[in-house]
Structure 1
Amino acid sequence: MSPEADQCVPLLPEKKSPARPASVSGAVFNVSTSIIGAGIMSIPATLKVLGAVPAFVLIVAIAWLADVSVEFLMRFTHSGEATTYAGVMKESFGKVGSVAVQVCVMITNLGCQIIYLIIIGDVLSGSQPDGSVHLGILQEWFGVCWWNSREFALLFILAFVMLPLVLLRRVESLRFSSAVSVLLAVIFVAISSVLAISALLEGKAKSPRLLPHLENPSSFFNLFTAIPVIVTAFTFHFNVHPISSELAKPSYMITAVRISLVLCASIYFAIGIFGYLLFGDSIMADILVNFDRNSDSAIGSLLNDMVRLSYALHLVLVFPLLNFSLRANIDEFLFPKKPILASDTPRFLWLTLALLVISYLAAIAFPNIWYFFQFLGSTSAVCLAFIFPGAIVLRDVHGISTGKDRILAGAMVGMAAITSTIAISTNIYSLSRS
């Protein structure tokens, strides 16, 4: 196996499979799964910060830019010899570019794994943001006990549910669990919609804020902290090449991406509106926490529990899929000359266990997903989604960029860098004052 980073592709077999090409519908399924992830949880909180109208505009704008960046990646991939994201960056910027992609994928995927565990912990064991107590499902059902604390509940899930799944050495082994995870995400959105519509008909719904509320000049800069959250929610570029390689024609990937982006943008805005109708300004960074409220009926309480459990289980099943890509990138980065990871049992086991331990400790130490979304969206995610694809077009090693491409790429890189810098500075300023 070649030691070069662009020759090792997470989620791809070492040799091409003789199986028939994947369908566009299958690619839509895979891309949508990569996009939705945990981003949907914090979308309602962005409406709280931005207001409904700016949030809708921002979701549409970032989805469109994601489509443009994927088109850039696909065009430069098929104009050169590279078959991976890291390979395309290596053709343009050498080894530094290849390593930059790998590092960003590692940061993004590890961060998302931590976010998944935080959300699962919120659902099972509750949380206490800003001093307010939100009980988890286990605490509601059995009372507050030592065994349903966040620390123990997450440890149990990791050891007896996630560990057996992440020990599978072929990603194909997860195809059924991935299909179930998507179904659970759909159930989550459907139940949330029913609850919001019921509240609207009963006159109990909250009025969504159409525009942001600016109390002082510093409030304006706080608006930028919502942008990285939405950027993270649309970052799926690390899976573009593995998915596209299974299709018969490169153009099919663009079609699949556009269908997926329209679908996911619609889901994001719908859950944002429905979440705001249900909870108004009391909405939390993780909307699942809000569903611990007492309902007026047994059916309402059951639906609240179902919506939380459905999405928590969805994340449990998506976690191993994300772990495949993360583990492969870390192994190739640390051990480029070693044999394939799946054939080296000791290395495979200790790397898998190390990633689980790190994710667990981080989820316990930092139980607020808003900070993780802001950090990822302001750094590695924005690089993978916008800065790297734009830089490839501006570098133009194959001489295929048009004037329109360069203008669009320059604007994309510039806006991404400016908004990320403002978001990071605002967060640092807020933390220094707290």
Structure 2
Amino acid sequence: MSPTIGVDVPLLPEHKVTEKRAASVSGAVFNVSTSIIGAGIMSIPATLKVLGVIPAFVLIVVIAWLVDISVEFLMRYTNSGESKTYAGVMREAFGPVGSVAVQICVMITNLGCLIIYLIIIGDVLSGNVHEGSVHLGVLQEWFGIHWWNSRAFALFFIVVFVILPLVSFRRVESLRFSSAISVLLAVVFVGISSVLAISALIEGKTNSPRLLPHLDNQVSFFDLFTAVPVIVTAFTFHSNVHPIGFELGKPSDMISAVRISLVICAVIYFSIGIFGYLLFGESIMADVLVNFDRSSDTASGALLNDMVRLSYALHLMLVFPLLNFSLRANIDEFLFPRKTLLAKDTTRFVSLTLIILIFTYLLAIAIPNIWYFFQFVGSTFAVCLAFIFPGAIVLRDTHRISTTKDRIIASTMIILAVVTSTIAISTNIYSMTSNKS
């Protein structure tokens, strides 16, 4: 079957996964971890500010657990059916409508995340303006403000000379080394943040994190639900489950890789949430990296601030190709369902790659804020990919393999997803309309 998401076509002999060419579990762990971490680190501290330490920890653990179950559901029905793709599994359960629904959700979610990545990279290198406050980027702090370190030019350089070569790979396994580096950079980000937080703690400059949410006239109980989609988006990597899993030798290897990755990412998320809140308290912004532009009393402190920002910006550059991989495949199969494999057609492959890069670059220049996008995508398309679609596949049970326990879990998963997403969307709409009035 096709190694890309969507339409199932006969697998060419040169694309069959043999024992010799099977991807390694370690490579899958790096690719899955990189797919999960993404922009999640920068958004988790803001959710900690809204929820408090204890609810945030519980929410991270619960969502990671539900994600593990949803991936297990997907892999079980993939192995029991004829299709080897997410959209193909949905087609077996719900026909062409199910397949198209998955493709649309993947395209919108991944495209949005790629735009977010470039926005964050632009914030790090060239700064931004938030609520009238100017935050300088690393390049501007080092060299002053010039045309060549403006947001548009800096991102153009990164897209052409860093991201374009990485998105040119036609096999996910080829990205295992860049993914390993990206995970290491995420760990470096957490490590430096912990050093800064511990130093601030010793000097008595830290902010005491709230263990529980603080509700007042500005924050209502329903506002707490707006943090849920952010964490859901941070853990949504389902579009890459099949491309990564397809290249492994055994289906069970993918389940192991996912569980190891979820533990790693949950630890990283919660750690940066705590350290970020200790450092910045209530001043945490939607992009916590921007907080690190504050001046430091020492040269070493300023250097650490710059290192933490640059390490994560480079991390996002290395995450970009993974989400681009499934996005490009979905767009191709949505537009050209009867064509040959995308990897075998150089003209189509190069054209789609360039169109995606140009489009994400232009939108990243035009869009100033990312918090509402995280909330909206997490409340709609991401929650469908992560929970609603896998639960619906189990309830549909085309292959008659689900147990009573599976159906109960699937029903609970769907109900929780719909209820929390509805509340989050309603609260966000109310907040935006209230602010305008």
Shared fold (TM-score greater than 0.5)? Answer: yes
| 406-415 or 71-80, which deviates more | 71-80
- The equivalent of 1:394 in structure 2 is 395
What's the counterpart of residue 373 of structure 1?
374
Rounded Cα–Cα distance in structure 2 between residues aligned with 1:341 and 1:74:
23
2:27 match? 26
Q: Give % identity.
A: 77
Alpha-carbon deviations, 1:66-117, whole Å to 9, x = none?
A: 1111111122222222211111111110111111111111111111100100
d(CA) in 1 for partners of 2:350 and 2:299? 45
The residue aligned with 2:320 is 319
Q: Counterpart of 1:140?
A: 141
Residue 87 of structure 2 is aligned to residue 86 of structure 1: yes
Q: 1:255 to 1:102 in 2, by over 3 A?
A: same
Partner of residue 167, structure 1: 168
Say whether residues 1:109 and 2:115 are aligned partners.
no
Query: 1:353 is matched with which residue?
Result: 354
Q: Is the 8 A contact 2:240 2:322 kept in 1?
A: no
Matched, 1:280 2:290: no
Letter in 2 for 1:200: L
In the aligned structure 2, how far is the partner of 1:162 from the partner of 1:263?
25
Match of residue 212 from structure 2: 211
Q: Which runs of 5+ in 2 are unaligned?
A: none
- Secondary structure at the counterpart of residue 128 of structure 1: strand
Residue in 2 that maps onto 1:129: 130
Aligned length: 432
Partner residue in 1 for 2:345:
344
**Partner letter of residue 94 of structure 1?**
G
5+ long unaligned stretches in structure 1: none
Q: 1:78 to 1:338 in 2, by over 3 A?
A: closer
Deviations 1:236-271 (A, max 9, x none): 111222232333433332222222212211111110
Work out whether residues 6 and 90 of structure 1, in 8 Å CA contact, stay in contact via their aligned partners in 2. Answer: no
Partner of 2:267: 266
The answer to whether the 8 Å contact 1:284/1:290 transfers is yes
Contact kept in structure 1, 2:243 and 2:326, CA below 8 Å: no
Please give the alpha-carbon distance, in whole angstroms, between the structure 1 residues aligned to 2:406 and 2:60. 22
Counterpart amino acid of residue 424 in structure 1: I
Question: Which has the higher mean CA deviation after the structures are superposed, 192-201 or 73-82?
Answer: 73-82
Q: How far apart, in 2, do the equivalents of 1:117 and 1:279 lie? A: 24
CA distance in 1, matches of 2:348, 2:225: 42
Assess if the C-alpha contact under 8 Å between 2:33 and 2:262 holds in 1. Answer: yes
Structure 1 equivalent of residue 153 of structure 2 = 152
Please give the per-residue CA displacement for 1:107-152, whole angstroms capped at 9, x wherever unaligned.
1111110010010011011111111221110111111222222122
Q: Equivalent residue for 1:420?
A: 421
The 3 A distance-change label for structure 1 pair 145 and 186 is same
How far apart are residue 156 of structure 1 and its match?
A: 2.1
CA contact (8 A) 1:232 1:376 kept: yes
Select between 121-130 and 178-187 the one with higher mean Cα deviation: 178-187
Distance 2:9 2:378 in 1: 25
Q: Partners of 1:4 and 1:127 in 2: how far apart? A: 36
C-alpha RMSD of the superposition? 2.2
Q: What is the distance in 1 between the residues matched to 2:375 and 2:5? A: 32
CA contact (8 A) 2:6 2:86 kept: no
Shift of 1:62: 0.4
CA offsets 1:28-49 (integer angstroms, 9 cap, x no match) = 2222111111111100000011
Read off the aligned partner of 2:16 and give its amino acid letter.
K
Letter in 2 for 1:52: V
Corresponding residue number in structure 2 for 1:229? 230
Deviation at 1:18, TM superposition (A): 4.8
**Letter aligned with residue 269 of structure 2:** Y
Contact 1:8 1:332 in 2 (8 A): no
Matching residue's letter, 2:289: L
Summarize deviations over 1:313-336 as a string: whole Å, max 9, x none.
111122122212111110111011
Amino acid at match of 2:233: T
Paired amino acid for 1:342: A
Superposition map of 1:170-181 within 5 A:
170-181=171-182
Match of 2:294 in 1: 293
| Change in 2 beyond 3 A, CA 1:400/1:14 | same
| SS of aligned partner of 1:7 | coil
SS at match of 1:133: strand
CA contact (8 A) 1:4 1:336 kept: no
Report the TM-score, using the length of structure 1 for normalisation: 0.94
Q: Is the partner of 1:400 in helix, strand or coil?
A: coil
SS of the residue 1:120 aligns to: helix
- Indicate whether 1:220 and 2:217 are aligned: no
Letter in 2 for 1:224: F
**Residue 295 to residue 27, structure 1, CA distance change in 2 (3 Å):** same
Q: Is the 8 A contact 2:227 2:375 kept in 1?
A: yes
In structure 2, do the counterparts of structure 1 residues 80 and 346 end up closer, same or farther at CA, with 3 Å as the change threshold? closer
Moved more, 104-113 or 256-265: 256-265
Q: How does 1:177-196 map to 2 (within 5 A)?
A: 177-196=178-197
Q: 1:249 to 1:168 in 2, by over 3 A?
A: closer
Change (3 A) 1:5 1:243: closer
Indicate conservation of the 8 Å contact 1:63/1:265, yes or no: yes
Alpha-carbon distance in 2 for matches of 1:394, 1:16? 31
CA, structure 1 residues 171+264, in 2 after alignment: closer, same or farther (shift >3 Å)? closer
In structure 2, C-alpha distance between the alignment counterparts of 1:261 and 1:407, rounded to whole Å: 23
Cα distance change of structure 1 residues 74 and 381 upon mapping to structure 2, 3 Å threshold? same
Q: Is the 8 A contact 1:27 1:256 kept in 2?
A: yes
Q: Could you tell me the TM-score, scaled by structure 2's length?
A: 0.93
